[in-house]
Each structure stands twice: as C-alpha cells, then as structure tokens.
Structure 1
Amino acid sequence: MESLKESSPAILSQRFSPKRRVPKYELRRELGWLWLGLLLVWPTTILGQIRNDFQALQNFRMTADVTGQLRDWIGQDPCSGPEWTGVVCKNGRVFELKLERLQLAGPIDALIELDQLRLLTLKDNNLTGTIPDFSSWRNMQLLYLNGNNFTGQIPATVSNMLRLARINLQDNHLEGFIPNVFDNLTRLQTLRLENNDLVGPIPPINNSGINDFSVAGNQLSGSIPSTLSRFSQNSFSGNAALCGEPLALACPPTVAPVQPPTADPNTAPGEAPIPPHRKKGSRLSTGEIVAIVVGDVVALLLITLALLFYYWRRYSRRNQEKPAKGGDLDKGEFSSGQFSTAQLPDSERSKLVFLEGSKHIFELEDLLRASAEMLGKGSFGTAYKAVLEDGSVVAVKRLKDVSTNGKKEFEQQMELIGKLKHPNVVPLRAYYYAKGEKLLVYDYQQNGSLYSLLHGNRGPGRTPLDWVTRLRIALGAARGLAYLHQECGSQKIPHGNIKSSNILLDKDYSACVSDYGLALLMTSSAATTRMAGYRAPEHADTKRISQRADVYSFGVVLLELLTGKAPVPAYSNAAQEEGIDLPRWVHSVVREEWTAEVFDIELMRYRNIEEEMVGLLQVAMVCVSPAPEQRPKMPQVVKMIEEIRPDPASSMDEEGFDSLTQSPLSDEG
C-alpha cells in the first residue's frame, strides 16, 4: 500500500502531464471512434423522436377517433408516405395538428408528447377531461381548444409557452381561477376564455400586445383591472358580480380592512380571545339553557302556524274562484292563473270572434275544456298548444299587459291583423276579449320554432338541419317579413320582434313569421322595451323599433342559420343570458380571413355548398350593417336569397336529402 501511495503521484504525473504528446495514430483512432459513435447515436435519437410522434398520434387516435374520421393515419411515420388528415410536418417532426369538427371524444393527454408543435387546433369536437400540463409545448404558437367539453382548471404552466400568440379555450366547462401568468407571454395577441365556469377575480393582465380578449359568460367577480378596461363591454358580459369600466356597474368604494383585536395578555398562544362579557372558563347556567330551548320551541310553533294560515287562505281562495263548469285555464294547462267566463259580468262576457277565412269554428267553452300544454313564454304572454275534444289542434297566446283604449279599439286592431294573409305568415284565426283576459288563436305549427330546431338537443342522436332546408327557411321567412313590411308600408309598422323563436315551421318545414302586429297593442315605450328581437345598434340611442331594425334582426337570424350559434337575447338583461354577439363575432372571424370557421359544423358534412353558404353570409352581413341606411329593404333581401338558389323548395323535392350535392362526406368510400 505504501509503495502504491508513493508511486501514484509519479504515475499520474506521467500519464496526465500537459507536456505529454499523443501520437498522431492514436489521436486519429480516438477521433474515429468518436465520429462512429455520433453516427450511430444521432439516427437512433431522431428515429426515437419520430417514433414518439407516431406513438403519440396513434394513442390519441385510439381514444378519440370514435367515428373513424382518422382512418388514413396508417404507416409507421406520420411525416412520410401518404398524408395523414390534419398532420403537417417539418424536418421529420409534427409541427401542426388541425383536427376541427371531427366528432373527436375523450382526453388529449397523449398529444403532450408532440413537443415540436407550433399549431394545435381541436375546436368544435366533443373532447373531455382536463387540459394537460403545457410544459412540453414550449414551442406552441397557436392553440385552439374551444368548443369542447374540457373541465378542470387552466394549467399555470401556460407560462412556459413563451412563443404563444393565440390561445382560445372558450365554450368549455373550465373552472377555478384564471392563473396570473399571462404577463410572461410577451407575444400573446388573443386570449379567449368566454363561456366557461371560471370564478374569482380577473388577474391584472398587463400585456399591451393582447388585442383580442374575452372572459364573458363565466362567474367572475370583483373589479375589472384597469389594464383591461380598453376592451368592450362584450368582453366581460355575463359575469353578474363584475364591476368597473367598461361595464355600466360601478364598483363599490373600497372598505378599510377591519383591524384585528388587540391580543389579551391573559390568552395563551393559539387560544381564541375571551369575549369581554364572559370570563374564561364560565359556562351557561341552567336557566339560560332552559330559556334558549323554550325560545326555539316558541319560534318553531309560530312559524308552523304562519305556514298553516297561509296555505289555508290560499286553499279557500282557490275554492271560491273555481269556475262553475270547471273550464279554467289552469289545471296545468293554460297558465298558473285561473279564468272563466262565469266570473265576468254580463256586460263584459263575450265569445270567441273568428276572423275571415277561418274554417274551423268552435265555442269558447270548447277551448276552455281542451287539454293543453305550455309551449313557451314570450314578450307578450304565454303560448299553449290546445287539443280540442274533436282532435283538432290550435295554438293559443294568452296576452299580458296589453295597452288599448277598450274593446272597440282591440277589435279593430285584431281585424287589421286578421286581414294579413300569406303562406309564410302564421294566420290569426280568432280572438277573445274581456277586461282581464285576452286570447289569440292561431294555426298550430307542428315543427316548432327555428330556435328549437337549431339549438335543441345538440348532442348525440340529433338529426342535423341540412343546408337545403336552412336556405328554404331563410327564403320563406324573408318573404313573410317582406309581405308584412309591404302591407303595412303606408303606416311603416314594424314587426319589432324578429328572432328565431318567432319563426315557426309547419309540417313541411316552411317558415312562418309569428307575433306580427302585436306592436299595435302596446304603447310606444312598452313596445320599445319588450319588442326588439335582436336589437339593432341604433336602438340604444333612438329607443325606437323600425322596419330597418327588422332587417338587422333578420340578418342575425341568417347568421344563426349559418353558424348554428345562439345570439345574445335582446332584452335588457341579455348579459346574463347564454349566447354571443353574432354580428361582432362573425366580423372578427371574417376579418381574420378564416371565413370557413364561421359555418356550423353540421354543414361541413355536405358537399358543393360552399359558394351558396358564402352567398347567404354576404346577404346577412349587409343586413347587419351598423348604419340603418346601408341596410337593404326586405324585398331586396328576398331577391338576393332567391339568386343564391332560385327555388330551394323544388330542389329539395327533386334531389331529396341524399342527393349528390347534399350527401355527407363521411358516406364516401
């Protein structure tokens, strides 16, 4: 051991002395081995990365492609050979993944392995689960996960994507707080988080590069940061607890924080301070306990007696008001109130008045005995489907808060409405007038409203509304509204309440405009408040309804048909309702030159209709022009729609739903 210690310095000095020269042949041999190692390792590394991309895509396909949309993902390399749907490669790696509107489902965790992604768009699918950790997507620039069913929180690791320019997470079910990390993303331009379940305050995002921002339709609270007040009200609407600019709701003054009580020197560390009125260690006396129990029992008895008295009075009143013949509009049928002609004095008692052209005549008592179900509540009252004893079906609208100068004026207005006859207008058949009750009877339209057809049951099992039917509905509704504008041309009476729920569909899916003429029954101020359809921009200043505003509302209906999206309701609390500002949203998408993203995913399955869809989109955009004078009149709108496809009704009859021009792409090969 000693000899080794003694010899070690000499040996080490001899072997590693800087003066020692390596023979040339030895140097060349070592460099050769180094190059050989690199040549062996480098292809293995690249091959491993390619295999990682391939495996990540295949894992994703196995869980998400429930309808077989990605059946061309075959082979061992997504970046060579036949192209894979939605996959774009560069330098042998997956750089872009575009899988929009393919009915994909399940989680997306497998895609995290694609560490070279620059663009990922999975919008408008049925993807679920939480959004995975963003740490692997450091190169991501464009990320679109909107229109899915993602849950959970927004990962704070979004701050790792320093190249990120646009991120869209809207229309999901994300919850929790908005992470305060977006200041780090200096290249960020778009941040869309609307229509989720996010809570808490909006973080003070101080990023001047963001020009497209929205957190509307969440459950956020508190004041809007001054750094974000430059955006419009629509960016924050639908959050009832938000305040501050640009919203009209001002924030309450800041309350000074309550100072904590001074520590009691007699209180031990970690022990709650003792109230001044009670000494430490004292307990309630027996008398105090008895008093508390007796007080609780007495309070409970008083509450019980009050409830019994309330329900007794309600029951007695209901029995007194019960009609002699049992013909009331309650029974879960017409409304929550009650009605009977037996309650009215003889001077006010009347019958159903049938208008010219009505073929099916029946008595008021027949209507009161009919079984009925509520169809919905609108601006003027509640609508019901009534099935008479002879099996015929009618629609009854029970009016509320009607302002007229008496029975004679009401009858004159009903006669005027009853004269309006057109195939695309729901005909008024009869009316009933009494001091406290006014009923309108229409033909029942068995396929409901356009709103329910477009937005009802958007999940699995839904029957899509095909393009020919949509175009046919648009033309029919335009013709009906144009007729009403022309017939009321001299008085320039507007409809005032154009929206998809007031466009009804008969057994052949022909569009029929309803709720027309009811502006005649309202004072101008009431009509302005309750009748505005999808309100035109000028309504905020003029507070008036007009035929030009009808054209704007009809343009929004056309956008609704094209996009499949529900617009913001018209009434004053629209910010609290579901829906989006359709004209603004469409303008923004078209401005980005992404026009194809406007159209409803259900229309993407049909071929050879792109030109027609763009044509109808152009008509809609003209109708929603901000300036009223730039909007066409309804007869012009009819002509423009007719030029898109001269007669969509006959096209449907001749071609049918399974024609070559309407066949789904998924049915091919």
Structure 2
Amino acid sequence: MATPTFSFTCFSFFFFVFHLWVICQASSNPDLKALLAFKAASDTQHKLTTWNSTTDPCTWTGVSCIHNRVSRLVLENLNLRGSLEPLTALTQLRVLSLKRNRLSGTISTVSNFTALKLLFLSYNEFSGEFPSTVTSLCRLYRLDLSHNNFSGKIPATVNHLTHLLTLRLDENRFSSLIPHINLPNLQDFNVSGNGLSGEIPKSLSGFPESSFSQNPSLCGLPMQSCKDIVTDPTRPGTEGATASPLMPRGNPTTVASSPTSMPNGAMPDKTTSTHQNGTTKLSTVALIGIVLGDVLVLAVISLLLYCYFWRSYSAKMREGKGSKLIESEKILYSSSPYPTQPGYERGRMVFFEGVKRFELEDLLRASAEMLGKGGFGTAYKAVLDDGSVVAVKRLKDAQIGGKREFEQHMEVLGKLRHPDIVSLRAYYFAREEKLLVYDYMPNGSLFWLLHGNRGPGRTPLDWTTRLKIAAGAARGLAYIHNSCKSLRLTHGNIKSTNILLDKAGNARVCDFGLSIFATPTPAGPRSNGYRAPEALDGRKHTQKSDVYSFGVLLLELLTGKCPSVVDNSGPMSGYGGGVLDLPRWVQSVVREEWTAEVFDLELMRYKDIEEEMVGLLQIAMTCTTALPDQRPRMNQVVKMIEEIRGVEVSPCHDTLDSVPESPSLSEDTYGTSQ
C-alpha cells in the first residue's frame, strides 16, 4: 500500500508535468506574442482577464482558432484604447471585430490579413485617410469603418474588393466626389454624414436616400436631381442652392425683344425692322413648303405599305389560311389532337374530383406563356376565358406505353392531395398529345429564387425563408413516399426547378411520379448533379435515391451553388465529369475544417444563424451518403429539419412515422397500377 507521502509526490509530479505541457502548448501558438502585445497596449481597464501567457490563446475570451492559429477575434464594447498595429501579425485572421471601443490613430497596413473576410471597426476613434491597404484584401465580404474620424477621398481602388457585400463609411469626414463604385455583390452601402459632393454615380443610385443623407453637396438619384442645383461662381457655398423661379435661366445679359426694355431706351433702326419683316415672310413660305412636303412623303409611304400588306394578305387567302393563321398564334400547342385521318381516336379531358371542368378547346383558346422546358416536356401558364389560371405540361420527351397504363398511373397521382405538393387536376391522352393540368404556382421556382438575377438590385433569399422551403419540400416528398406503401411511390427528379412556391410563399413539390416515363437514354447534365450514385448506372430509382437528391437540394440552399452547372475550372473542377458534384465538394471543404467556406455569401449578412446552418449542413451530408442503406427516410429528415427551429413543427409531425394511406385511394387503385 502506497504511503500518503508517495501519493502526494506522484500527484505533484503529474501536476507539474501537466502544467508544463499547458505552458508549452500555449507558447507554441505563433499568435501568442501578438495578442499579448495588443493586450498590454490596449487593455488599460484589465477587462481581458482570461488573456495570460499560461493558457492556450484559443481558449481566451473573443478568440477562436483553426489549426492552432487565430482565425476569429471579436472584442467589442470593452473600452480598448491604442493602436491596431500589434494585431497585424495575425496572418490567419478571417474575422476581426473591434466595434465600440476607443481605438485610435491611423491604420497603416492591414495587408497581412490575406484571409480576412469580415472587418468591423465602427464606433472607434481611428483617423487619417482611408486605409489604402484594405483594398488588397481580395477575400473581404464585410467592411465597416463607420463612426470614426477618417478623412480625405474615398479611393476608386475599393473596386478591387470584388466579393464585398457591405461597405459602410458613414459618420466620418470623407470629402470630394464619390468614385464610380461597381461591385456586383454589394448589398449594404452607406456614406451618410460625411462632406461628400458632386453627383452620385449611377452604379449606386439603387441604394436608398438614407445611404447618402447629411452630405449637403451631393446630388443625383436617389437624392435631388443635379439639374435643379444652381451654382453662383461669385458666391462660395451656393453649390446646393435651388434655382429660384424669379431668376431667369440662361445668359444673364440677354434682353427682351420689347423696344421699351432695351438698354438706355435705344430704339431699333428701320433697316433692322425691314430685315426682320422680310425674314418673317420668308419663314411663312418655307413653313408651308415643309408641311406640303411632309404630307406628300407620308402619302407615298402609306401607299407602298398598303400595296405590300394587301399583296401578302391576298397570298394567304389563296392558300386557305386567312384569319385562322392569325388566330393560331394564340394556340398553346403546335400539333392538334383532333382526328385528321379516318380511324384516329380522339382523346378527352379527364378531371379529378372537385376540379372545375373545361374543354380542350378552352385550353387551345387560352392565352399562354411558356414557363420552362424540363426533362419530360414543356410547361405553360394558361389563362382561360373565365380568368382562371392553370399550368399545363405537354409531355413530349416521355416514353409512354399504352393508354390503360397511362390512365391508371394518372389516377394514382391525381388523387394525391397535400399542402406541400402541386396537385394534378386533369389530364388528356391522345396518340399524338399527352397533357397534364396542374395548379398554377405564381411565385416561380426555388431555382429562380436562388440563382436568378444575381447582380445589383437582387433581393437575397433570407435564411428563414430557405429553412421554411427546406421543411416544406421535405414534408411534400415524405408524403409522396408514404402515400401508398404498396407502391412505394418515388419522385424520381428532385431538383430546385421542381420546388415551386405558392401565393403564400410555401414550397410545393411538383413533377412527382413521372420518372416511370423516363427514356432509357442517359440524363443530361441538368439533372446529373442531383442523381444518386446508384441511379447513374441505370438502376431503378428508389426512395433512397430521392433522399440523396433532396440532400443535394439542401446543399444548394446552403451554398447558393447550382449542382447542375458545368464547371471545368477552379477549386470545384474534376467532380462529376464536368458537372459540379456538390456533395463531394462540400465534403472536401468540411474535411479541411473550413466549414464556413461552403455557405452562400448572401447568408453572411445574418447574425446568430451559424448553428442552424451547420445543423442543416449535417442533415444534407447524411442524406448524400454514398451507401443508400445509410441514408435516413424522408419522414426522419422532416423531423430533423423541424428540430432545427422548433417553432416550425408541422401539425402532422407526430404521424410521419406511420403516414396513413390517402383516404381517397384504395388498394384496388394501387393494384391496377403495378
């Protein structure tokens, strides 16, 4: 049995070794010296109590590390003083926020911050000119220098910051003109409360007036037009004066034509009067000639146009077209389903329960707008004579067997009803024409919301909306999977163009159940990015394949990248034979512990959502596991998404594990479709 003295000695030895190990670990951090130097110079009130040389800097208040290097430094509202200079040695910084302190002096160089993405220095006492080395930080997304004492010009070199989303320079002392700033991703811009002058560049005119207020000498959209500004060179400071209605515009030395208003009461001589009278008579003659010439030219042109169009119209009448050709421009479909030969079987419109009925002729007369072309045909928006709107898909690129097989499958799809799917309302079958009629979704597709109009003036898709769309789409797909357990229905073509939004902005899954009509030829690049590995080699599509495609859809929501684009350059090349393999790219980034790199730049503007984004990212990576058996079922995916933000749990959450078969469907209906 060990004596107490020996035990105490052993404990002391191990404690000493552990303490020595901690000191070695702390001292091995190359950023320790810079942090301690900044604390010694700036923390005059000793608020950074955890900052000491005996502990690991990565555990200090406001410090985060990656690979034992400081990557994030957030020290806000701590009454820090002094200079920024000691921190310039932190070469791996990605986030630096020193808001609401009392730091001062000029910012000489920050070019060492080559990895910096977010820089917040507002509400301090920095002075001097705009820090020129900031424009070398090519990875910067957010730059906030507001509420300081910077002065001088805003340099045009800010255009080098091509990734910039935020540029805030308000409440400083900047002067002179605003340079032509053309940053394609800029969303938040503010230069109010400075001494800027001149015209606002057109590239910035889309920002609100509050972005330019308290600059008395600024003009142009969205502020007062520069044409309304009158300057008097003899009176300094009148650049912002508004033109008076009593002040004549133009040359101030111009006098009126009235003889009594001429200088010194001088009268015009007779020669001038005679000359003026002669000019008047000549002008009247010229005016009459011009009018007659115009009338003659118009008459000749009208005659030529009449002859040309009458000749064309006569030719059309001779060919038996006439007004029918003009009417055919409004017809939705190019080939008529009506019988043209003896024995041709005319089709009929088949409606499902509760749908307002109309005839095929109503569709053909409807004004139409093409919505897009997908893997199974072209979709149109059709406005009927009574004002109702439907979406019509014309199946052209589908491999359809017999009429009975088609009608049986449509009977199954047409009776599926759920708030998160686009309901099939009717169908038409003929030998040369197959039409599907759906509810029309007025707010477009998720694809357009994510990737459309990526430029100035775009309204970004916020995080709450993305999470809501993800949950709605998951519920819709889970319902399809569980609606008929004997058939085990699949969607077969999950992608962002097949997630539509209704009037309320809720996600609706469309084009479900059409994969059985897919041609055996390999799918094009547009859908390859979503396809599960086992579906690429021609094997039958399964519900687990749908789960994989849905996982890719979640990655698309998180990254803002389209998995169907061809990308043969840059860090994403080499995946999927030219098509971006989004799951593999995300896995490679996360493997290097750079998780933040995968998220869409447009999500960087929102605070306190990192945990939710990482949670959805983990769900997406689980769904895109290479082995189908390791992927969750869709009802499990629904639960996981709704647990990210508990307030958005669906009413049917508790029944997802055993979704009852639709009461409008019977086993007889299922059996006829197999």
TM-score (norm 2): 0.50
- Residue 79 (1) aligns with residue 85 (2): yes
Give the distance between the partners of 2:344 and 2:326, measured in 1 at CA: 22
Q: 1:128 to 1:562 in 2, by over 3 A?
A: farther
Query: Which deviates more, 441-450 or 587-596?
Result: 587-596
The match for 1:620 is 620
The alignment status of 1:381 with 2:377, answered yes or no, reads yes
**Tell me, what secondary structure is at the counterpart of 2:357?**
coil
Instruction: Give the whole-Å Cα distance in 2 for the aligned partners of 1:490 and 1:321.
Output: 53
Shift of 1:459: 1.4
* Residues 589-611 of structure 1: CA deviation (Å, up to 9, x unaligned): 21221212222222222222221
**What residue in structure 1 maps to residue 206 of structure 2?**
none
Q: Is 2:354 the counterpart of 1:357?
A: yes
> What are the Cα deviations for residues 157-210 of structure 1, in whole angstroms up to 9, with x where unaligned?
xxxxxxxxxxxxxx99xxxxxxxxxxxxxxxxxxxxxxxxxxxxxxxxxxxxxx
Matches within 5 A, 1:242-641: 328=328, 331=330, 334=332, 337-339=334-336, 341=338, 343=340, 347-358=344-355, 360-522=356-518, 534-568=530-564, 580-641=580-641
**Residues 325/646 of structure 1: CA separation in 2 closer, same or farther (3 Å cut):** farther
The DSSP-based 3-state class of the residue aligned with 1:411 is helix
Q: Is the 8 A contact 2:529 2:579 kept in 1?
A: no
CA–CA distance in structure 2, aligned partners of residues 83 and 451 of structure 1: 34
Q: Distance in 2 between matches of 1:493 and 1:321?
A: 48
SS at match of 1:439: strand
Q: Deviations over 1:598-642 (max 9, x none)?
A: 222222222222211111111001001112111111111111111
Q: CA deviation at 1:113?
A: 5.7
Counterpart contact for 1:124–1:146, Cα < 8 Å: no
The residue type equivalent to 1:506 in the other structure is D
Contact 1:323 1:340 (C-alpha < 8 Å) held by counterparts: no
Q: Give 1:478 deviation, angstroms.
A: 0.6
SS of the residue aligned with 1:615?
helix
Report if the CA contact (8 A) 1:564-1:600 is conserved: yes
Q: CA–CA distance in 1 between the matches of 2:342 and 2:131? A: 75
Unaligned runs of at least 5 residues, structure 2: 1-79, 88-95, 121-129, 144-154, 166-183, 186-311, 568-573, 652-674
Aligned length, in residue pairs:
396
CA offsets 1:36-72 (integer angstroms, 9 cap, x no match): xxxxxxxxxxxxxxxxxxxxxxxxxxxxxxxxxxxxx
Pair 542,519 (structure 1): closer, same or farther in 2 beyond 3 Å = closer
- Where 1:589 maps in the other structure, the secondary structure is helix
Equivalent residue of 1:365, what SS? Answer: helix
1:96 paired residue among 107, 113, 119: 113
The one-letter code matched in structure 1 to 2:645 is R
Displacement of 1:349 after TM fit?
Answer: 1.7
1:206 paired residue number: none
1:554 counterpart SS class: helix
Report how far residue 465 of structure 1 moved: 1.6
State the partner residue of 2:193.
Answer: none
- CA RMSD, aligned part only? 4.9
Taking a change above 3 Å as real, the CA distance of residues 617 and 473 of structure 1, as seen in their structure-2 partners, is same
| 1:341 Cα deviation after fit | 2.5
CA distance in 1, matches of 2:467, 2:539: 32
Name the CA distance, whole Å, in 2 between partners of 1:343 and 1:569. 43
**Are residues 120 and 352 of structure 1, via their aligned partners in 2, closer, same or farther at CA, if it must alter by over 3 Å?**
closer
Show CA shifts across 1:531-589 (max 9, x none): 76711123344544222111111001101111112112599xx9999973321221122
The CA distance in 2 between the partners of 1:497 and 1:622, in whole Å, is 19
Identity %: 55
SS in 2 for 1:474: helix
- CA-to-aligned-CA distance 1:284-325 (integer Å, 9 cap, x gap): xxxxxxxxxxxxxxxxxxxxxxxxxxxx9xx99996799969
Q: Quick check: 1:324–1:342 contact (8 Å CA) kept in 2?
A: no
Structure 2 residue 140 is matched with structure 1 residue 122: yes
3-state SS in 1 of match to 2:85: coil
- How far the C-alpha of 1:520 sits from its partner, in A, is 2.9
Residue 79 to residue 545, structure 1, CA distance change in 2 (3 Å): same
**Residue 334 of structure 1 aligns to which amino acid in structure 2?**
L
**Alignment gaps of 5+ in structure 1:** 1-73, 104-109, 133-144, 150-170, 173-311, 652-669
- Which letter maps to 1:447? N
1:247-288 Cα offsets, whole Å, 9 max, x none, are xxxxxxxxxxxxxxxxxxxxxxxxxxxxxxxxxxxxxxxxxx
**C-alpha distance in structure 2 between counterparts of 1:475 and 1:363, whole Å:** 37
What SS class does the counterpart of residue 531 from structure 2 fall into? coil
Q: Letter of the 1:408 partner, please give it.
A: R
**8 Å contact 1:349–1:434 — kept in the other structure?**
yes
Assess, with a 3 A threshold, how the Cα gap between structure 1 residues 493 and 322 changes in structure 2: closer, same or farther: farther
One-letter identity of the residue aligned with 1:556: V
Contact 2:337/2:433, CA 8 A, preserved across alignment: no
Structure 2 residue identity aligned to 1:96: F
Amino acid of the residue matched to residue 592 of structure 2? E
